[in-house]
Amino acid sequence: MKKTFIAALLMAGLATSGMAQGRVNQVQSKDGGRGEKGRHRVESPEQQARKATERLDRELSLTEKQRSEVYKIHLDRAKNMAISREKAQKQRLKEIKKMESERSDSEKKLNRILNSQQQAKYASLKQSRAEKFKDRRAYSSKKRGDMARRDSSNRSRASVRPGR
């Protein structure tokens, strides 16, 4: 009797953990899962606010008044975030230009110091480094693409379970 009871508890525990894992996979596949960050286009603030409000409305069954107030809050936040993203983008571009200017200045200074033979060798070194970097980027880009395809196929298989 004791052995039967322990076996039944063990089976119940395994069944419960299996169902919980299935729910986790379904939730991950609904929202795009991991690995998809940064690969979506940014929607307009109005679209973001509408989607966020609809999501809350589904979960909380908001009244019409609450829905309009929640929409206003989400719209304000989305507009502020859009402004922040734009400022950050401008700052990044400014920093890139600054770094390019510094690199150009240092190249000019180096070329003043080096003789013509050294300058030629230095130019070929820069060229070979650029090619290695280009190859490395192409390889990592291809690798990321393969991983994204593999992840998406795994997610789709995890969310489709037989008998559900």
pLDDT in tens, 19-35: 555 544 444 444 444 44
Q: What share of the chain is helix, strand, coil (3-state, %, to 5)?
A: 85, 0, 15
Residues 25/154, Cβ–Cβ less than 8 Å: no
In sign, the C-alpha dihedral spanning 74, 79, 80, 84 is positive
- For residue 158, being part of any structural domain is answered with no
Q: What is the pTM of this model?
A: 0.47
- Could you say which residues of the chain have pLDDT below 50? 23-37, 164
pLDDT of residue 34: 44
Residue 11 domain flag: no
Q: What's the confidence (pLDDT) of residue 135?
A: 85
Q: What is the pLDDT of residue 24?
A: 44
User: Is residue 29 a part of any domain in this protein?
Assistant: no
% of the chain surpassing 90 pLDDT: 53
Q: How many distinct helices (H) and strands (E) make up the chain?
A: 4, 0
State the pLDDT at residue 33. Answer: 45
Instruction: Please give the backbone phi and psi of residue 72, each rounded to the nearest 5 degrees, phi first.
Output: -60, -45
Domain residues for 61?
A: 44-121
- Cα distance between residue 161 and residue 91, in whole Å: 47
Which of 40-76 are b and which e, b meaning 16 or more Cβ less than 10 Å from the residue's Cβ? eeeeebeebbbebbeebbeeeebeeeebeebbeebbe
Percent of the chain predicted with pLDDT > 70: 65
What is the predicted pLDDT for the residue at 76?
A: 97
> Does some domain include residue 130?
no
The pLDDT value recorded for residue 147 is 64
Q: How many domains does the chain have?
A: 1
